[in-house]
A = this chain, B = another copy of it.
Amino acid sequence: MDCREERLPHQSAALGAGLSGSQSVDRALGLLSLIGREPAEGLPLGEIVAGSGLNKPTTRRLLMALMRAGLVEQEPQTRRYCLGEEAFVLGVLAARRHGLLEMAMDSLRRLARETQDTSFLTVRRETYAICLHREEGTYPVRTHALQGGDQHPLGVGAGSLAILAALPDGDVDRIVAANEAALLARYPGFAPEAIRADIVATRERGVSLNPGRLVASSWGIGRAFRYPDGRVAGALSIAAIDSRMTPARQSELAALLTREAVRMEALLAPMFLSKRGEKPMAAKPQPIETGRAR
């Protein structure tokens, strides 16, 4: 069982690269993920073609397959492609196991009630962060910089930054490098160096702080929490108008976030009863590799 890294010499060199044996499926699922990045409006065929690197006929054929399965739908008016009802239903089904949101709802509600500001649950998805939920507070001035389903590169925004800062340095480097182009092009004020500085500050402080860098006057404060095996599970964060983010109140909010993060980690504890001492940094669940060759 511990022969995990035994690489035999005769492994066919052609397989070395990512030759999966299911090219079209990989491509189709890539499209799905791409469409998921624009959950509100959907994407026109042209952009999907451009964004995926595939050509038009192939893209369209794969989209048809996704539509047959109900995972994607095409808006009849605009001809844009967007996530379908089946994707929604699958999500509800998957929520039984991956019920992060379910688990976090209590925390989010409590944070929103106690602080009167808006609270968020954010998770990581590759090099991006996704806002899974936004729980409105009661305070009359609210920032709408972040909606449920919104996605930004890791490091952009409080929850996103908290997650990034919680990752090991190697991952941070890869992620920031991967996002560099997007950051420079679409996130002025989030140059790679700025993000690195933010990470240092976040690690010192224990919580992340976004001083209105994405939308002026819209501040955020966040804190990551982990699975029992050490992997980062997500982040809780709170957004408020700048006047409600004085240093004193920051500490107050940090304490609340910490309390809820601890609660989340306690809730997640039962998930890993497995005693297998795998290296805790495994970036992804990763398929089991039983056989010899790779």
Copy total for this chain: 2
Per-residue CB contact flags for chain A residues 54-80 toward chain B (1 = under 8 Å, else 0) read 000000011011111111011011010
User: How far does the alpha carbon of A84 sit from the alpha carbon of B40 in the complex, in Å?
Assistant: 23
**Does residue A230 face the partner (Cβ distance < 8 Å to B)?**
no
Q: When chains A and B are docked, how far (Å) is the Cα of A84 from the Cα of B22?
A: 19
Judge whether B92 and A89 touch: CB under 8 Å.
no
Task: Say yes or no: is A276 at the interface (Cβ < 8 Å to chain B).
Answer: yes
A264 at the interface (CB under 8 A from B): no
Bound-complex Cα distance A274 to B24 (A)? 34
Q: Enumerate A268-286 residues with CB–CB distance to B below 8 Å.
A: 274, 276, 284-285
Q: Say yes or no for A94: interface residue by CB 8 A criterion.
A: yes
Contact among B20, B91, B96 for A40, CB-based, below 8 A: B96
Q: Taking each of A20, A25, A66, A98, which has the highest tally of chain B beta carbons within 10 Å of its own beta carbon?
A: A25
Q: Tell which of B88, B93, B274 touches A98, judged by Cβ atoms closer than 8 Å.
A: B88
User: What class of interface size applies to chain A in its complex with B?
Assistant: 35 or more
- What is the CB-to-nearest-CB distance from A16 to chain B, in angstroms, rounded to a whole number? 17
How far is A156 from B40 in the complex, measured between Cα atoms in Å?
35
Contacts of A65 in B (CB 8 A): 20, 22, 25-26, 29
Residues from chain B with Cβ under 8 Å of A287 in the complex: 64, 67-68, 74
Interface residue? A83 (CB, 8 A): yes
Q: Which 7 A-B pairs have the closest CB atoms?
A: A91-B91, A83-B94, A29-B69, A87-B94, A25-B65, A88-B94, A22-B65
